[in-house]
Amino acid sequence: MQYVSTRGESPPVGFTEAVALGLAPDGGLYLPEALPDLSGKVSEWEGLPYPDLCYSFLKEFATDLPDETLAQIVQRSYQSFTHPGVAPLQQLDEDLYLLELFHGPTLAFKDFALQLLGNLYEEQIRRTGKPIVVLGATSGDTGAAAIQGLLGKEGVNIFILYPEGRISFLQERQMTCSGAGNVFPLAIQGTFDDAQLALKETFADKAFSQQVGLSAVNSINLARILAQSVYYLYAWLLLPEEKRSMTTFVVPTGNFGNVFAGWLLGQMGFSIGGFHIATNQNDVLHRLVQTGQYEKGRVTPSSAPSMDIQVASNFERFLYYFTGRDARKVREVMAVFAETGSYHFEDFTTHGFTSSRASDKDISSIIRSISSRHGYLVDPHTACGFRDLDGLLPCIVLATAHPAKFPDVIREAVGADPKAPSLEALKEKPIVNFPLGASKEAIQTFILEKIDL
Ligand X SMILES: *Cc1c(COP(=O)(O)O)cnc(C)c1O
Q: Which residues are catalytic?
A: 110
One residue of 41, 153, 244, 381 binding ligand X per CB under 6 A: 381
In contact, 102 and 108? CB cutoff 8 Å: yes
Contact 217, 145 (CB under 8 A): no
Is the distance from CB of 161 to CB of 173 less than 8 angstroms? no
The yes or no reply on residue 58 touching ligand X (CB under 6 A) is no
Does 400 engage in binding with ligand X (CB under 6 A)? Answer: yes
Stretch that binds ligand X, among 59-67, 250-258, 321-329, 344-352 (CB under 6 A): 250-258
Beta carbon of residue 14, minimum distance to ligand X (angstroms, whole number): 25
Q: Is 398 helix (H, G, I), strand (E, B) or coil?
A: strand
For position 279 contacting ligand X by CB under 6 A, the verdict is no
**Residue 353, beta-bridge partner list:** 275
Question: Total number of residues binding ligand X (CB under 6 A)?
Answer: 15
Which among 11, 46, 73 is positioned nearest to 226, based on CA atoms? 73
Q: Give the contact letters, 291-310, x = binds to ligand X (CB under 6 A), - = no.
A: ---------------xx---
Asked if 276 and 249 count as a contact pair (C-beta separation under 8 A), the reply is: yes
Q: Is 258 in the site for ligand X (CB under 6 A)?
A: yes
Stretch that binds ligand X, among 78-86, 149-157, 248-256, 360-368 (CB under 6 A): 248-256
Quick one: 114 or 233, whose CB is closer to ligand X? Answer: 114
- Tell the smallest beta-carbon distance from residue 318 to ligand X (Å): 12
Q: Does 119 participate in binding ligand X (rule CB under 6 A)?
A: no
Contacts of 240 (CB under 8 A, 6+ apart): none
Only one of the segments 117-125, 171-179, 254-262, 444-452 lies at the binding site for ligand X (rule: CB under 6 A); that segment is: 254-262
Instruction: Give dist(CA 264, CA 317) in Å, integer.
Output: 10
| Interface with ligand X, residue 409, by CB under 6 A | no
Longest dimension (CA), the chain: 60
Determine phi and psi for 268, rounding to 5 degrees: -105, 25
Residues 6+ apart with CB under 8 A from 64: 14, 15, 16
- With the C-alpha atoms ordered 355, 220, 45, 148, is the resulting torsion angle positive or negative? negative
Which of 157, 253, 280, 371 contacts ligand X by CB under 6 A? Answer: 253
The residue type of 112 is F
How far apart are CB 327 and ligand X at their closest, in Å?
23
Query: Within 10 Å of residue 344's Cβ, how many Cβ atoms?
Result: 12
* Closer residue to ligand X, CB minimum distance, 219 or 371: 219
Select the span of 70-78, 252-260, 263-271, 292-300 touching ligand X (CB under 6 A). Answer: 252-260
Cα gap 46→48, rounded to integer Å: 6
Q: Judged by CB under 6 A, does residue 124 bind ligand X?
A: no
* By CB under 6 A, residue 257 contacts ligand X: yes
Site for ligand X in 125-164 (CB under 6 A): 141
Q: Which residues pair with 53 in a beta bridge?
A: none
> Which position among 252, 262, 273, 407 is part of the footprint of ligand X (CB under 6 A)?
252
Q: How far is the CB of 281 from ligand X (least distance, A)?
A: 14
**Minimum distance of ligand X from residue 157's CB (angstroms):** 24
Question: Is residue 255 near ligand X by the rule CB under 6 A?
Answer: yes
Q: Alpha-carbon distance 29 to 8, whole Å?
A: 10
Q: Report the alpha-carbon distance of residue 117 to residue 76 in Å, rounded.
A: 11
Rounded to the nearest whole angstrom, what is the least distance from the CB of residue 149 to ligand X in the complex? 14
CA distance 410 to 206: 45
Q: How far apart are CA 449 and CA 435, in angstroms?
A: 15
Cβ-closest position to ligand X: 255
By CB under 6 A, residue 110 contacts ligand X: yes
Residue number, 117 or 443, with CB nearest to ligand X? 117
Q: Is 108 in the site for ligand X (CB under 6 A)?
A: yes
Closest separation in Å from C-beta 446 to ligand X: 27
Residue 402 contacts ligand X per CB under 6 A? no
How far is it, in rounded angstroms, from Cα 273 to Cα 282?
26
Give the whole-angstrom CA distance, residue 91 versus residue 377. 14
Pick the piece of the chain touching ligand X (CB under 6 A) from 230-238, 247-255, 330-338, 420-428: 247-255
DSSP letter, residue 282: -
User: Can you give the binding site for ligand X, defined by CB under 6 A?
Assistant: 108, 110, 141, 252-258, 306-307, 381, 400-401
